[in-house]
Structure 1
Amino acid sequence: MSTGLTAVPFVEHTKFWAKKKLTGVTGNIYTGLHEFEDMAFVIHLLQKDDVFFDVGANVGSYTILASGLKEAKTIAFEPVQNAFEILLANIELNKLQQMVKCEQMAVGSKKEVLFFTNDEDTTNHCVENASANTTTVQAIHLDHYYPELCPILLKIDVEGFETEVIKGASNILASTNLKAIVIELNGSGDRYGYDDADIHQQLLSLGFLPYLYDPFQRKLNPKNHFNGFNTIYVRDIDFVSARLSSAKPFVIFNEKI
């Protein structure tokens, strides 16, 4: 595992390993939750023993919240070795080995071998050709690898490879067990010739609608389009709204939310 790491308090009793320039977690030190609305949505939605898929887990901020704080069962996918090692260390730090399964794999539309950059921290991504700064990674697709499991919540943050993940998750996306998706649509798919608007239209066709979440009001506010960063898509608004409104508050910076 990388050296120079320090254990830092996270939300309530959880914690994470951090060091300078480890941007997957250091933002939490300064802001409490570095993706505040989206992380609060995850915390308020999930309950004990729910299934959560963290696709593109990096070092595990969302996984720690889902399993460490809410006791959900998480499957966390992270293809890049350095991030994966810290992800495993964070699971051990929070004693979540029985609740989290970590997979050093990429997620796409089929089983294949892919090349990933390994020196770009949170923006490591799939590339066409191997080089000195790439890692060879086995890729799977969600429908094949976990046919017996369907998450209530799916988080996808794969630096432009979101279209491939969606292609390989048609059964999961069609299941009524899946209530919500948090997905990053920031234009990175352009590097692969993909248009985020196509993902948006596909999710709409499956009954998902985009929302902004207000954690203080526990309210989902409808949007007409996806954000330029993370977007929350919800299919069963009544179920999700009931979960959000009834969730136990969490404490961050001495404030209940």
Structure 2
Amino acid sequence: MIKIIFTQIIKTLNKVYIKLFGIQSLFKLFDQISTNNKFNPLVGYYKNIGILNSGNIYQTGESFFIEKIVNRYLSKNNLVFFDVGANIGDYSLFLNQIYPQAQIHAFEPNPNAFKKLSEKTKIVKNIIANNYGLGEEKKQIKLYSYKKMKNTQLGTCKKDILNNLFDVKDQIISHKINIQTLDYYCNERKIEKIDLLKIDVEGYELAVLKGAKKILPKTRIIQFEFNEYNIFYKIFLKDFYDLLYPQFQLFRLDLKRLIPLGGYQTINEIFKFQNIIAINQPKYD
């Protein structure tokens, strides 16, 4: 009986809405509801397995990772950290706070973000800020970002990402940026190992790793982001497995834990915000 009454109420509301605003407006309303995370039953499930925990380093679990996990696997002597896609420097500064003796190499090609990164890290002697990106080969490419929005620090090499995910077609600007490889950078500076390699470059993560094939065996921990941006690059989680596994064991970062992913499984191909942690098994002290 309750179900019948509820159904009748919905039908009546639909008729009233259509009469006032039209059928197309109703379809648009349903579309907005269906795509709103608040009404999506998958959101709660995802959050329980370390997905969609976006935000600052406390909301993503990165503070736990840096303080507890990194500390567990690394000695505190001669630490070398790489922050690729450093944005305005929050991650690098937190690393410096927890590991003040570590050498930190930060990379940010977006000129708007790099300006803030430089300002925030200029008095920190052990943070080296580089105004270019890392990738599979040395080249110059276009980086797309917002024109007049608070997220102006966001930058991506795929214009379609901004067009499709952010709906800012009339606000997109581009910058020409330089790309270098991680192997070249390490060779030039005689860097023989990396303790932590963090990569957050809006879908360009695999290219960074492909330009680091020589230094990867001497890298202890990798953190990289995997999300819907990878769809536009046609990159799957399997591509990362092919490059890293089994030398690196892969985990998904949750707020207070690492979730083992084990060997490759198609069920883990979830194109939503998540941080993947790859830990090198052989010790190279």
| TM-score for the superposition, normalised by structure 2 | 0.63
Indicate the SS of the match to 2:92: helix
Number of matched residues? 202
2:117 matched to which residue of 1? Answer: 87
The one of 134, 149, 164 equivalent to 1:107 is 134
**1:195 Cα deviation (Å)?**
2.3
Q: Which runs of 5+ in 2 are unaligned?
A: 1-53, 161-170
Q: Which string of whole-angstrom CA distances, capped at 9 and with x for unpartnered residues, describes residues 63-100 of structure 1?
A: 011123311211000010111111111113xx31x101
2:83 matched to which residue of 1? Answer: 54
Q: Distance in 2 between matches of 1:39 and 1:114?
A: 32
The one of 235, 241, 245 equivalent to 2:280 is 235
1:74 matched to which residue of 2? Answer: 104
Q: Which string of whole-angstrom CA distances, capped at 9 and with x for unpartnered residues, describes residues 180-214 of structure 1?
A: 11111114223223223211232114x11122457
Q: Which runs of 5+ in 1 are unaligned?
A: 1-25, 240-257
Q: Which string of whole-angstrom CA distances, capped at 9 and with x for unpartnered residues, describes residues 225-255 of structure 1?
A: 667411111123889xxxxxxxxxxxxxxxx
Q: Which string of whole-angstrom CA distances, capped at 9 and with x for unpartnered residues, describes residues 135-171 of structure 1?
A: 1111001001112212111001111111211110001
1:210–1:234 contact (8 Å) kept in structure 2: yes
Does 1:135 pair with 2:175?
yes
Indicate the SS of the match to 2:97: helix
Q: Distance in 1 between matches of 2:153 and 2:66?
A: 20
Q: Which string of whole-angstrom CA distances, capped at 9 and with x for unpartnered residues, describes residues 106-139 of structure 1?
A: 111111001001325454111479x970011110
Q: Distance in 1 between matches of 2:126 and 2:78?
A: 9
1:154–1:181 contact (8 Å) kept in structure 2: yes
1:243 matched to which residue of 2? Answer: none
Indicate the SS of the match to 1:163: helix
Higher-Rg structure is 2
Question: Which has more helix, going by share of residues?
Answer: 2
Indicate the SS of the match to 1:85: helix
Residues 197/48 of structure 1: CA separation in 2 closer, same or farther (3 Å cut): same
**1:105 Cα deviation (Å)?**
0.4
The one of 40, 43, 47 equivalent to 2:67 is 43
Q: Distance in 1 between matches of 2:241 and 2:228?
A: 12
